[in-house]
Amino acid sequence: MKKVILFIAASLDGYIADRRGGVGWLKGQDDDLEPSKSYDSFIKGVDTIIMGWNTYRQVTEELAPGNWPYAGLTSYVVTHRNRPSTEAVKFTSENPGLLVTHLKQQSGKDIWVCGGSSVVQQLMREQLIDVFHISIIPTILGGGVRLWDTLEHELELQLVETQNYNGITELIYERRQRSC
């Protein structure tokens, strides 16, 4: 069955956007160094992306204006805005948990939860994220859009890999399976 992977960057203090919703701080400590190749290998294992409206807006207006960077993948944007879908980008108001549950049953590669915090929180509450791939950016924002919120239950994880480059630490965790 497909895995649901949260692949996201956060500040050291747990924010995924600054107080204005910006992501211009998403960089390592040395602007002259090449970025990590971990994204390149990660993206080969997914065929579906789920994101909220704010993440979609950031991608289309800030990070890659005029150039949809996820060509060849099916993207779902969870929003209450009535937008026409295309073959590559499907706008939906469906509950993220129901959407993910439906998509996991289809054949294909894994599902990438790209953001934002509302979508992540809903999927975490329903325990639908299998892998947490978090890149910790060497920045303390002191406020903004939090990645983590309170949960009604404990979520036990197992560290499976770490990488460090240009001051960025990548942590990859999988949900621990409880033994009966």
Q: Tell me the C-alpha to C-alpha distance, in Å, between residue 19 and each of 26, 27, 28, 166.
A: 14, 17, 20, 24
* DSSP conformational letter for 44: T
Residues 56/14/118/108 CA torsion (nearest 10 deg) = 60
4 contacts 126 by C-beta, under 8 angstroms: no
Is 77 buried (19+), middle (13-18) or exposed (0-12) by CB count in 10 A? Answer: buried
Residue with tokens 């630490």: 169
Residues 6+ apart with CB under 8 A from 56: 77, 79, 89
pLDDT tens across 140-171, in order? 999 999 999 888 888 999 999 999 999 999 99
Per-residue pLDDT, 178:
67
| Radius of gyration of the chain, Cα coordinates, nearest whole angstrom | 16
Q: Please check the confidence at residue 118 and state whether its pLDDT lies above 70.
A: yes
Q: How far apart are CA 94 and CA 133, in angstroms?
A: 25
Average pLDDT over residues 41-55: 96
Residues 145 and 55 sit within 8 Å (Cβ to Cβ): no
Task: Give 56-115 pLDDT, tens digit per residue.
Answer: 998 998 888 888 999 999 999 999 999 999 988 999 999 999 999 999 999 999 999 998
Residue pointed to by tokens 């890999």: 161
Longest dimension (CA), the chain: 51
Q: Are 99 and 78 in contact (CB under 8 A)?
A: yes
User: How many of the other CB atoms lie within 10 Å of CB of 64?
Assistant: 12
Instruction: Report whether 9 contacts 1 (CB < 8 A).
Output: no
In this predicted model, which residue has the larger pLDDT, 125 or 1? 125
Q: Both tokens of residue 92?
A: 């939906």
180 pLDDT band (50/70/90 cuts)? low
